[in-house]
Amino acid sequence: MPISFRRKPPPPTTRSIVVDGRQLRIDVRPGSGRQPPLLLVNGIGASLELLQPFVDALDPALEVIRFDAPGVGGSPLPGLPYRFTGLCRLLARLLSELGHDQADVLGISWGGGVAQHFALLQRHRCRRLVLVATGTGSLMVPARPAVLARMVTPRRYLDRGYLRRNAADLYGGSARSQPEHISELMNAENRVGPALGYVYQLAAGAGWTSLPFLPLIRQPTLILSGDDDPLIPLANARLMHSLIPHSQLHVYHGGHLGLVTEADELAPVIGRFLAAGGSGDAGDGRSRAAQNGQPG
């Protein structure tokens, strides 16, 4: 009988799990267990596949947990709309279901709002906080009205031609020179859920703002923002950095999707921050480069 030297494919890491009576589609990339896992909270309308380039660029020793928000991708639509508080409770129970008392939490865009809320309301479950291309909610420096209008529907996930035509105005950065690449990135593997799931995500953050409680966030926090982000202008990152006591600001050259398009550059920055120490006081954490508005 011939011997096959073909490697067995790795075991699947994506599965459905029932948390507090609600089904969630999750992906858990195993790690070494030497530090808490990293919980990723994605942007509005995006399924967990969109962040695959970033996950691939992270240290393989780091356990990474991703999920589809209720009504997005492979997670069924909930019976009723939800708010950030309810979603944060669900994420805390997800960590418990996976056997973790604590995690580092990274939120991008809409997910950055969820991450800020989680850091305050589930403080003992969040060791370190990473905020990427995000702002403070309803009270923030807004994008231009024409940009915001394109975010009201998930059309960019459904119509490649529409995204190619609007990628530069929506996302900035490499989207200005490579709109076709951005279109492929956003549509290739991303699983689009029902339109009502997108509406529920919009409703979850409607009227929400983190401005009053940012000084109460005690976790060491890394804030990353692109210098060409039409959706979340850089001024919002500077504002959060000034209000979160133990924060660092890293400005990268790129747009709203920098976590994916510049994954090889940003993953090491985030990895070093997560590995820097325990959950104790991080000191001021404000580098000279960040204070000057330069990449940290």
- The residues that are catalytic are 109
Q: Tokens 């510049």 identify what position?
A: 262
Answer for the pair 255, 172: CB distance below 8 angstroms, yes or no.
Answer: yes
Sheet holding 221-226, edge to edge: 14-19, 22-29, 64-67, 38-41, 103-108, 126-132, 221-226, 247-252
DSSP code per residue over 88-134: HHHHHHHHHHTT-S-EEEEEETHHHHHHHHHHHHTGGGEEEEEEES-
Which H or E run contains 29? strand 22-29
Q: Tokens 């909610």 identify what position?
A: 137
With CA atoms as reference, report the closest residue to 84 among 209, 261, 182: 209
Q: What tokens does 160 get?
A: 């490649």
Q: Whole-angstrom distance between the N-terminal and C-terminal Cα of the chain?
A: 58
CA distance readout (Å), 264 to 19, 27, 52, 173, 260: 33, 21, 12, 15, 9
DSSP helix/strand/coil, 255: coil
